[in-house]
Amino acid sequence: MLKTTKIRIGVLISGTGTNFQAIIDGCNAGNIHGKVVFAGSDNPDATGLNRAAKHNIPHFVVDYRSILRSFDKTPEKIRLPRDFNFKDALSKTRLFKQNTDKNRIKRFLITRAIAEAKLFDKIKGFKFDLIALAGFMKKLSPYFIDKISALPEKPCIINIHPALLPAFPGMDGYADTFDYGCKIGGCTVHFVDYGEDSGPIIAQKAFEINSEDTLETVRAKGLKIEWDLYPESIQLVARNRVKITDMEI
């Protein structure tokens, strides 16, 4: 049975926010039993924030790049969040291969914690049930995931990925799919866990890749189905149609 209370959705973006618009449209059309309560970005130049302004949705920016530049310039002046535990984050993250340079991992976890603490400070004033990553190009660390999804059996961060997971995780799923020579492409909506695009899958849609297709046409096909799949997946969550069992985040 559909809940009488609408699900409250926070959206994080980095760019133009076309999936963000699909979520807004889905809510306005009644295809999502929910309401977008905030939009945030890591990028001050994200044009998708204009969509939030147009629809009177509260929005904000946490400039990840400036935090990273400050760390690289004067790391001794960086102040970590009081509740950040480096060993805990290190033990949980599954974003890196075994042979990854330890200093690179340390830099990532520390700068992410600083940025994510600021991000959390921005969103904690909103009442929300779900955070949807809609082209948010920054990987989330265990520090942030644990602050948002306090209960492992009830994760509340979802992402849309441009490939049919578990194939082709990472930054550019459509390019990886095309370059590999696949005849089928697609996209996946999944919960976010400590790995890279490795969380439990909510829904997927596929499309054919023909001999005349280019990377540009593959991207266009993918985006078109993303705009349908993401609202459909959020509606599944809104209706309590998604159950998580034996999930390790």
Which residues participate in catalysis according to the annotation?
161
C-alpha span between 219 and 186 (Å, rounded)? 10
C-alpha span between 18 and 46 (Å, rounded)? 11
Asked if residue 244 lies in contact with residue 154, where contact means CB atoms within 8 angstroms, the answer is yes
C-alpha span between 216 and 214 (Å, rounded)? 5
C-alpha span between 220 and 133 (Å, rounded)? 19
Helix, strand and coil content of the chain, in percent to the nearest 5, comes to: 40, 20, 40
Q: Is 237 helix (H, G, I), strand (E, B) or coil?
A: helix
Q: Is the dihedral of CA 105, 106, 111, 114 positive or negative?
A: positive
Structure token digits, residue 107: 């830099």
